[in-house]
């Protein structure tokens, strides 16, 4: 599916990527990265405030750029970190261009079960609201680190993605977790 899209999508102006048998190793490498990270990239860019349709565009564009970059012979030491850095930058550019600042709250609201009591639904709703409120108090850096960590990136990869040290990532995540725990304990 990715390669069908690549064969039809414009990349870097009006160039079109043609896939042939000489790119088997490259195709396998990009396919593996795509299968490993596509959902994580999509959900991550949603947390940056792009719409679901824009999120799909960003995710596809990231892997097109990965293919193009590798095809040009550039060496990428940390492919997953590179993918998230490119996705982050593309999403921010898209959001700024569209001026849509409606951020996604994160996890979707759970639909209450018919067997669930009214009291349980109210308690669950209050808990979700406390988490939502606590997430709103996080700094942009804390939220970004938390989102990337949830997407499966390691501290080093998060640091590379947002351009800070790993100790800074550790501190952002520690502070975010403390705020969230405090909100749940209230």
Domain that holds residue 171: 118-185
142 shares its domain with 91: no
**151 has a pLDDT exceeding 70:** yes
Distances, alpha carbon 163 to alpha carbons 52, 97, 129, 145, in Å: 26, 23, 32, 11
Calpha distance 47→51 (Å, rounded): 9
What gap in Å lies between CA 186 and CA 183, rounded to an integer? 5
The dihedral of CA 154, 160, 164, 165: what is its sign?
Answer: positive
pLDDT of residue 7: 41
Is there a single domain that holds both residue 8 and residue 59? yes
* 40/73 same-domain check: yes
Contact partners, residue 133, CB within 8 Å, separation at least 6: 183
Triad 104, 108, 114: Cα angle to 5°: 155
In a domain, 84, yes or no: yes
Mean pLDDT of the chain: 77
Distance CA 122, CA 118 (A): 6
Average pLDDT of span 74-79: 89
Global pTM reads 0.53
Q: Is the pLDDT of residue 19 over 80?
A: no
Q: What is the CATH number of the domain that holds 43?
A: 1.10.1740
Question: Which of 45, 65, 98 is the last residue in one of the domains?
Answer: 98
The domain boundary, picked from 98, 132, 153, lies at 98
Q: Is residue 113 part of a domain?
A: no
* Tens-digit pLDDT profile for residues 120-144: 888 888 888 888 888 888 898 898 8
Query: What pLDDT, on a 0 to 100 scale, did the predictor assign at position 86?
Result: 93
Position 19 in a domain: yes
Q: Contact 47/106 with Cβ under 8 angstroms?
A: yes
**Which one of 98, 132, 161 terminates a domain?**
98
Asked, for residue 108, whether it belongs to a domain, the answer is no
The per-residue pLDDT for 102 is 37
Q: In Å, how far from its chain's centre is CA 150?
A: 9
Domain count, the chain: 2
What pLDDT is stored for residue 35 in this prediction? 92
Tell me, what CATH number does 174's domain have?
Answer: 1.10.10.10
């Amino acid at each position: 599916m990715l390669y069908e899209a690549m064969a039809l999508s414009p990349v870097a102006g009006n160039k079109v990527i043609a896939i042939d048998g000489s790119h088997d190793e490259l195709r396998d490498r990009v396919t593996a990265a795509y299968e490993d990270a596509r959902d994580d990239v999509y959900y991550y860019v949603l947390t940056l405030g792009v719409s679901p349709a824009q999120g799909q565009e960003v995710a596809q564009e990231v892997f097109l750029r990965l293919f193009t970059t590798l095809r040009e012979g550039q060496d990428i030491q940390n492919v997953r970190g590179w993918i998230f850095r490119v996705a982050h930058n593309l999403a921010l550019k898209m959001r700024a261009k569209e001026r849509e600042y409606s951020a996604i709250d994160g996890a979707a609201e759970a639909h209450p079960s018919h067997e669930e009591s009214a009291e349980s639904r109210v308690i669950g709703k209050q808990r979700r609201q406390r988490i939502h409120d606590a997430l709103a108090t996080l700094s942009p850096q804390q939220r970004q680190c938390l989102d990337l960590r949830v997407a499966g990136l390691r501290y080093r990869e998060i640091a590379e993605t947002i351009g800070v040290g790993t100790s800074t990532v550790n501190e952002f995540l520690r502070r975010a977790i403390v705020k969230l725990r405090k909100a749940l304990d209230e």
